[in-house]
C-alpha cells in the first residue's frame, strides 16, 4: 500500500518542480478518479480474499476457488467500464471535482492519459489482495514495487528529458501500472492453494454478492474519501476566493498534503489488510484466541505509526511542502496551517480503518461498512459544509480533528462490544 501511494507522490513532486502550483492543483482535481479505482479494487480484492479465506477455514476449497475467479473477473470488467466512462465524461467530471478554468487544461491532459491505466491499476491492486490471501504477500509487494520503480525512472525522463509535462507524468504512471498488472496476472494464473480454471472466472450472482458484501466496508471508505475530496475541493476554492489565499493556493496545498497523508494512511490500510487473512481463517476455524492476538498486535503497530506521523506533521510541515516545489509566503502559510490543524488528531487515525477491516474479516460486513463511513461521511463531510459558514476557510481546517476524534470514540465503543462477544463464543466453543 505504501508503494501504491508513491505513484501519486512521485508525480506530484516532479509536476510541482516542472509546472508549479497549477500542476499540483490539477493532480488534486484528478485524484478522485484514482480513489474510485482503489474503491473498486478493494471491494473485489479484499472481498474476494475474505470470502476465500473464510471458506478455506471452513474446509470448502472447491467453493473457495469460485470466489477468487469471480473476483478476478469483476476487477477486469469494472476497470474497463470506468475507463470508458472517464473518457466519455472527462470535462464535466473534472469541473465537478472542483477544477477551475486555469487548472482544467492541465487536469484534462493528465486524466485523459491516466484513464487508460484504470483497468491495470484496479487489477494490480485488487489482484494483490488475492495473491496475499494465497499466502504470498511478498509477491504482492514485488508487483507494486516494480511498477513504482518504473514510474520513478520514467517521470524525470518524460517530464524533463522529453519535455512532455503533465502528459509525461501520466504516461510514466500507466506504464508502471501495466507492468504491475502483468505480474499479478501471471501469478493468478498459477494460484497455489486452489486451481483457478475458466469455469471459476464466469461471474455467479451468489459469489459476486458475497464478495461485494465483504469488500463493501473498505470500498465505501474509499468512496467516502472521494466524496469528501470533491466537497473539500469545492469548499477550498469557494472560501479560498473569499480569503487572502485565493482559489489556487488552498487547492494546490490540499492536494500535496492529502498525498503526503496518503503515505501514512496507506501504511495503516496495509496493516489492517494484513490482519484479514489471519483473522478470517482463524475465525472460520473458531480459533478466537488467535483472532484476538492478531487484533491486539495490529493496534499496537498502528499506534506507533500514527504517533510517528503526528510528530512529523506537527514539526516539519514547511520542509515537507518544500519537496513539492516553491511558493510564496501565503502558499507556505496555508500549507503549514493545513498540516498542523487539519491533521491534529492523526495519532488516532489508526483505529477506524483497522476496526472496520477487522469486522469484515470476521464476517460482519455491516459493522465494517458502518465504521468505514463514520469519519468521512457521517462526521467530516457535514463539518466541511457547516463550519466554514461560521469560520470561513479556517472552518475547513477545524473539521479534520473533530471528525477524527469522534470517529475514534465510536470505533472503540464498537470493538469493545465485539471483543466481549468473542469471549462468549470462545467459552461456548470450549464446552
Give CA separation, 61 vs 16, 192, 210, 268, 411, in Å.
50, 12, 16, 30, 34
Q: Which three cell numbers stand for residue 234?
A: 469545492
- 129-176 tens-digit pLDDT: 999 999 898 999 899 889 988 998 999 999 999 999 999 999 999 999
Output the pLDDT for position 36.
Answer: 93
Answer yes or no: is pLDDT of 227 > 80. yes
2 is written with which cell numbers?
505504501
> Residues of the chain with pLDDT > 90: what percent?
57
Give the helix/strand (H/E) hosting 89.
Answer: none
User: What pLDDT does residue 430 have?
Assistant: 62
Q: pTM of the predicted model, to two decimals? A: 0.77
For 178-191, the pLDDT digits (tens) are 999 999 999 999 99
Residue 203: which residues within 8 A CB-CB, separation 6 or more? 70, 73, 74, 77
Show the cell assigned to 183: 505480474
Distance between CA atoms of residues 171 and 345, nearest Å: 36
What is the rounded average pLDDT for all residues in the chain? Answer: 90
Three-class SS of 284-315:
HCCCHHHHHHHHHHHHHHHHHHHHHHHHHHHH
pLDDT tens for each residue of 259-292 = 888 888 888 888 888 888 888 888 878 888 888 8
Backbone angles phi, psi at 147, to 5 degrees: -65, -40
User: Helical H runs in 242-287?
Assistant: 248-284
Q: What are phi and psi of 336, to 5 degrees?
A: -65, -45
385-418 pLDDT tens trace: 999 999 999 999 999 999 999 999 999 999 988 8
As given in the structure block, the three cell numbers for residue 42 are 478493494
User: Contact 384/231 with Cβ under 8 angstroms?
Assistant: yes
**Interval 194-222: pLDDT, tens:** 999 999 999 999 999 999 988 887 788 78
User: CB neighbours of 325 closer than 8 A, spacing ≥ 6?
Assistant: 16, 17, 20, 21, 24
Phi-psi label, residue 168: left if phi above 0, alpha if psi -120 to 50, beta otherwise? alpha
Q: How would residue 60 be classed by pLDDT, with cut points 50, 70 and 90?
A: very high
Rounded to 5 degrees, φ, ψ at 340 are -75, -35
Cα 131 from Cα 146, distance rounded (Å) = 16
Amino acid at each position: 500500500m505504501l508503494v501504491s501511494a508513491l505513484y501519486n507522490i512521485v508525480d506530484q513532486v516532479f509536476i510541482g518542480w516542472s509546472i508549479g502550483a497549477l500542476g499540483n492543483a490539477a493532480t488534486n482535481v484528478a485524484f478522485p478518479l484514482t480513489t474510485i479505482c482503489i474503491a473498486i479494487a478493494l471491494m473485489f480484492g479484499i472481498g474476494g480474499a475474505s470470502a476465500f479465506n473464510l471458506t478455506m477455514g471452513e474446509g470448502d476449497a472447491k467453493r473457495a476457488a469460485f470466489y477468487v475467479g469471480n473476483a478476478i473477473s469483476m476487477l477486469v470488467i469494472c476497470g474497463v467500464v470506468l475507463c470508458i466512462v472517464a473518457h466519455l465524461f472527462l470535462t464535466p467530471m473534472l469541473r465537478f471535482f472542483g477544477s477551475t478554468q486555469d487548472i482544467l487544461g492541465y487536469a484534462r491532459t493528465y486524466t485523459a492519459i491516466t484513464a487508460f491505466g484504470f483497468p491495470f491499476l484496479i487489477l494490480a491492486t485488487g489482484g494483490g489482495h488475492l495473491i496475499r490471501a494465497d499466502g504470498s504477500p511478498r509477491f504482492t509487494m514485488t508487483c507494486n514495487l516494480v511498477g513504482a520503480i518504473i514510474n520513478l525512472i520514467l517521470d524525470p525522463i518524460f517530464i524533463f528529458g522529453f519535455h512532455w509535462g503533465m502528459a509525461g507524468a501520466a504516461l510514466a504512471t500507466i506504464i508502471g501500472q501495466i507492468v504491475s498488472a502483468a505480474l499479478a496476472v501471471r501469478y493468478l494464473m498459477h494460484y497455489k492453494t486452489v486451481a483457478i480454471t475458466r469455469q471459476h472466472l464466469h461471474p455467479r450472482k451468489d459469489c459476486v454478492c458475497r464478495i461485494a458484501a465483504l469488500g463493501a466496508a473498505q470500498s465505501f471508505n474509499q468512496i467516502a474519501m472521494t466524496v469528501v475530496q470533491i466537497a473539500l475541493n469545492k469548499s477550498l476554492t469557494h472560501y479560498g476566493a473569499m480569503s487572502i489565499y485565493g482559489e489556487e493556493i488552498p487547492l494546490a496545498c490540499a492536494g500535496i498534503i492529502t498525498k503526503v497523508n496518503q503515505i501514512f494512511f496507506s501504511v495503516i490500510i496495509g496493516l489492517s489488510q494484513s490482519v484479514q487473512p489471519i483473522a478470517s481463517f482463524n475465525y472460520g476455524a473458531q480459533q478466537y484466541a488467535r483472532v484476538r492476538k492478531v487484533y491486539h498486535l495490529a493496534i499496537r503497530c498502528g499506534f506507533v505509526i500514527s504517533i510517528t506521523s503526528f510528530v512529523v506533521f506537527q514539526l516539519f510541515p514547511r520542509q515537507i511542502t518544500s519537496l513539492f516545489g516553491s511558493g510564496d509566503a501565503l502558499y507556505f502559510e496555508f500549507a503549514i496551517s493545513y498540516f498542523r490543524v487539519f491533521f491534529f488528531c492523526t495519532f488516532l487515525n489508526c483505529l477506524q480503518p483497522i476496526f472496520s477491516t477487522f469486522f469484515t474479516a470476521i464476517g460482519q460486513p455491516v459493522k465494517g461498512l458502518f465504521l468505514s463511513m463514520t469519519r468521512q461521511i457521517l462526521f467530516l463531510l457535514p463539518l466541511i459544509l457547516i463550519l466554514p459558514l461560521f469560520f470561513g476557510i479556517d472552518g475547513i481546517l477545524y473539521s479534520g480533528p473533530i471528525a477524527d476524534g469522534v470517529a475514534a470514540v465510536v470505533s472503540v465503543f464498537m470493538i469493545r462490544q465485539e471483543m466481549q462477544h468473542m469471549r462468549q463464543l470462545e467459552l461456548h466453543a470450549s464446552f
